[in-house]
Structure 1
């Protein structure tokens, strides 16, 4: 049987970073409310010439440079921060990367679950023709109203994955547990740049989707709870993963204290919520931070408000550590430019109507930038 999964992956983030200690000071609260209560330290924030396209292209670039485009006949772009109501953000990435025209390019959306929808679709494509590879890009910007409860959980980032047969990083096993329900816990209206959130309902819906998906996973012959060595969860904030593990332990009657590794939190604590990329940033952090993963099975839970949950497993391949690029993500996180509160608030308030031409200031040091609007069309360019 052909194994299929993640052959390579890379992460990109935004130019700026906001320290939650500064946000706490401005709000007059103890920084521990964010650092302990939420499990977050900082969040990434885009420069005026950055968006999901520029971050997604930056994440995908090293993969294309390492592997070339041969055999990549599909690009799937997952986001809930799309830049156009019709055109796929993936087509902008396709052009920026100079990919061949003989490709299908599609954008997928279901809140934070979109990255997993793209991954599973990619696996289906490769299973039909194992000589093909699929480029999956999950990229998002989480924005909430200033001074709202959601503000400290903002974030920005992108993860790109090359999905292929006989993968070098993580083999995705075939059984999935699924759960869907219509829940008004989180949404973003078409006329709003920020999301509407019912925080308590969202946490409840997340945990309900987790147990429902686990039951479906078990009913379809998935690995037993004692056969799973690690867990990685979608992290709207890292403390949510701890809540999820406790709920799963209670639900299954298993002792799971050792299967949720601190390593999965490392990047998310710095990025904030990256929506469709969040689970995969956690996987990237686990692969980079745990030196004993070969042949280990990881339980993966993806959640998207509204609400869709999926629980599935992946087995880390021997030699995975030879594919990784130690230090690449920490270096990128360290290179971000801090934003003071006044500057952050000013950037947060900026809105660009689509019917006015715009030239953005050149700020980002990333490989690609959003150059502005011309005749209501978005313009992108390489920075070098």
Structure 2
């Protein structure tokens, strides 16, 4: 029985800051951000968008295409949790009006969260082939204004529907996992801003990629040339480019060209949205599906990394007709409709979003009609509603 990704939905807030503008404001050469980091634009979440609201909006992108009565599991992967106890998945489940029998919980391991949920969901569907699972990765990446990590911030969510006989990607059995207790990136409970050792984190990411990629190929008796594409967790696109260069080193010219072309296709959405932590790998996957040259059966490798650190490499095969299941025009429109912020506006919105609203103060969103947003706190309980 084949199990895999049947639907993909993504959401990013309706505001962004341009990297050229940010570079000028920070007295930097724009090419340091555009080429050195590989980012063009960065989505900005105001006080009315959080991990939960974005997760709802991402899932709504495909909800009317599925049979909600078949959903048996909802997993919410995030490192931007809104509550120390209650799962974000319960807020999402309520907004989507899913059946009370749906099992719902939240998982965390930095940017690995959505992949962890995906693996759980895959096993669930194998045991319950008549049911489906929704897995969401939703985050706001914040390092602070005028910090070294500022250019690698962003906001967004990716939602996956996992099913038997999937219509986008068939997941292959097996994986290569690797983890160590290290401190390349973390966010203490008393901080809304992450702490990061950037150079160290990049080196760990590349080391973990080499370990899992080589181990996976050995397990499956595969060679690099067998992959039509490899997609990567992209906290910033230059990091994935470095991993891709490792993958193709010493390969023949055709393999080099194919995997570089697929990487170029896979980085487009991330370069215009920024870092969305748990969803970054799957935003890259969606970008590949929309912009790459794939055909039925093509083998695609996926490298997931979560700081602290946990990494996994696995693979999937493209399903014939996958193009009919994605909404490229809708995804392009979502980006095109964003409002460009001045750097001053960005700094103000960023700072305001770090402060929790006071009790019984209702927030007002400027998102499009139908989009969910965080409406404030009433009696210490978070409120979500549609525009």
- Provide TM-score, normalisation by structure 1: 0.96
Contact 2:155 2:276 in 1 (8 A): yes
Partner Cα distance (1:243, 1:215) in 2: 16
Match of 1:378 among 379, 382, 386: 382
The residue number in structure 1 matching 2:363 is 360
The residue number in structure 2 matching 1:90 is 89
Which sections of structure 2, spanning at least 5 residues, go unmatched? Answer: none
Match of 1:295 among 288, 294, 297: 297
Deviation of 1:374 after TM superposition, in Å, equals: 1.1
> Structure 1 stretch 219-228 or stretch 17-26: which is displaced more?
219-228
Deviations 1:328-353 (A, max 9, x none): 11110011111111111112112334
The residue number in structure 1 matching 2:75 is 76
Partner Cα distance (1:21, 1:341) in 2: 10
Deviation of 1:137 after TM superposition, in Å, equals: 0.9
Matches of residues 213-232 of structure 1 in structure 2 within 5 Å? 213-221=212-220, 223-232=222-231
Deviation of 1:245 after TM superposition, in Å, equals: 1.3
The residue number in structure 1 matching 2:336 is 334
Q: CA RMSD in A?
A: 1.4
Partner Cα distance (1:236, 1:271) in 2: 10
Partner Cα distance (2:192, 2:294) in 1: 42
The residue number in structure 2 matching 1:254 is 251
Matches of residues 55-74 of structure 1 in structure 2 within 5 Å? 55-74=54-73
Deviation of 1:30 after TM superposition, in Å, equals: 1.3
Change (3 A) 1:356 1:326: closer
Deviation of 1:129 after TM superposition, in Å, equals: 1.4
Deviations 1:21-40 (A, max 9, x none): 11001011111111111110
Deviation of 1:222 after TM superposition, in Å, equals: 5.5
The residue number in structure 1 matching 2:315 is 313
Partner Cα distance (1:305, 1:274) in 2: 14
The residue number in structure 2 matching 1:280 is 282
Change (3 A) 1:382 1:354: closer
The residue number in structure 2 matching 1:266 is 268
The residue number in structure 2 matching 1:194 is 193
The residue number in structure 2 matching 1:34 is 33
The residue number in structure 2 matching 1:172 is 171
Contact 1:113 1:308 in 2 (8 A): yes
Matched, 1:111 2:114: no
- SS of match in other structure, 2:158: strand
The residue number in structure 1 matching 2:153 is 154
Partner Cα distance (1:272, 1:293) in 2: 28
- SS of match in other structure, 1:327: helix
Which sections of structure 1, spanning at least 5 residues, go unmatched? Answer: none
Partner Cα distance (1:380, 1:87) in 2: 15
Deviation of 1:61 after TM superposition, in Å, equals: 1.1
Partner Cα distance (1:331, 1:222) in 2: 42
Partner Cα distance (2:217, 2:174) in 1: 9
Matches of residues 4-23 of structure 1 in structure 2 within 5 Å? 4-23=3-22
> Structure 1 stretch 51-60 or stretch 291-300: which is displaced more?
291-300
- SS of match in other structure, 2:251: coil
- SS of match in other structure, 2:166: coil
Contact 2:139 2:156 in 1 (8 A): yes
Deviation of 1:73 after TM superposition, in Å, equals: 0.8
Deviations 1:90-133 (A, max 9, x none): 11111111111011001111111111111111000001111110
Partner Cα distance (1:111, 1:267) in 2: 21
Contact 1:48 1:361 in 2 (8 A): no
Partner Cα distance (2:221, 2:342) in 1: 48
